Amino acid sequence: MKFDPIIPSDEAADRATPRAGVTIICDVRQGSRPWASARLEDISPGGFRIARLVGARQDVPLRIQIPGIQMLSADIRWIRDGAVGCAFAEPLHVAVFEHIVRSAR
């Protein structure tokens, strides 16, 4: 399976894990805030990028519900122009990652 590289910054150039450009509408919740819909645009086994997450805070973990996948925990690693880059608390198994990418296409 071939993946499209999405590299949002210079520090991403060192990544050895596959990344895939996707468009998935998912539900995200940070802390005790209500669930909100968000557009996931980039995913790897180790993390993901959400196009826009209003009021995101790096010091508060978030939960993400990708359709067809159990709820996952993640930490925000960076925020730029409303977009957020997150790292999964536990990396995705490669089969789960490939399933998400296939389902999104």
Q: How far is CA 68 from CA 71, 86, 99, in A?
A: 9, 20, 9
Residue 59 has pLDDT above 80, yes or no: yes
- Both tokens of 20, joined, read 């895939």
- Both tokens of 66, joined, read 């990708």
Residue 16 has pLDDT above 70, yes or no: no
Among 100, 90, 36, 46, CA closest to 68: 100
* Structural domain 19-104, CATH architecture: Beta Barrel (2.40)
Q: Hey, what's the torsion of the CAs at 3, 49, 37, 67, to 10 degrees?
A: 40
Report field, pTM of the whole predicted structure over 0.85: no
Overall average pLDDT of the 59-80 stretch:
95
Q: What is the pLDDT of residue 105?
A: 81
Residue 62 has pLDDT above 80, yes or no: yes
Mean pLDDT (the chain, rounded): 87
